[in-house]
Amino acid sequence: MSSSIPSQSAPAEPQTKIALESKVIAITGANRGIGLGVAECCLVNGAAKVYSIDIGETGDEFQELSTRFPNQVFAVQGDVTQETSISAAVDKIVEEAGALHGMVVNAGRTNHRAALDFTTEEIEALFSVNLFGAFYTARCAARAFIKLGIKGAIVFTASMASYRPSKRVPSTPYGASKAGIRNMTHTLAMEWAQYGIRVNSVSPGLVNTAMTYWVPQQPDWEQQLKYYGGFPRLAEVQELGGAYVYLLSDAASYTTSIDIPVNGVIGI
Spell out, one character per residue from 64 to 83, where the chain touches ligand NAD: x when CB under 6 A holds, - when not.
--------------xxxx--
Catalytic site includes residue 174: yes
CA-CA distance, 150 to 139, in Å (whole number)? 14
Size of the site for ligand NAD (CB under 6 A): 30
Residue nearer to ligand NAD on the CB measure, 150 or 201: 201
Closest separation in Å from C-beta 257 to ligand NAD: 19
- Tell me which residues in 115-174 interact with ligand NAD (CB under 6 A): 129, 133, 157, 159
Catalytic residue among 174, 195, 228, 254: 174
The full length of the chain comes to 268
Closest separation in Å from C-beta 205 to ligand NAD: 6
Q: Using H for helix, E for strand and C for coil, what is the string for 42-103?
A: HHHCCECEEEEEECCCCCHHHHHHHHHCCCCEEEEECCCCCHHHHHHHHHHHHHHHCCCCEE
CA-CA distance, 63 to 68, in Å (whole number)? 9
The residue within the footprint of ligand NAD, chosen from 24, 25, 28, 62 (CB under 6 A), is 28
180 binds ligand NAD (CB under 6 A): no
Closest separation in Å from C-beta 74 to ligand NAD: 15
The closest of 93, 99, 89, 260 to 182, measured between CA atoms, is: 260
CA-CA distance, 140 to 34, in Å (whole number)? 21
Cβ–Cβ under 8 Å, residues 20 and 45? yes
200 binds ligand NAD (CB under 6 A): no
212 binds ligand NAD (CB under 6 A): yes
- Tell me which residues in 4-23 interact with ligand NAD (CB under 6 A): none
Per-residue CA distances from 88 to 77, 144, 252 (Å)? 9, 11, 29
Closest separation in Å from C-beta 65 to ligand NAD: 13
207 binds ligand NAD (CB under 6 A): yes
Closest separation in Å from C-beta 66 to ligand NAD: 15
Q: CB atoms < 10 A from the CB of 216, how many? A: 11
The closest of 203, 212, 210 to 234, measured between CA atoms, is: 212
| Enzyme catalytic residues | 174
Q: Which residues bind ligand NAD (CB under 6 A)?
A: 28-29, 31-35, 54-56, 78-81, 106-110, 129, 133, 157, 159, 204, 206-207, 209-212
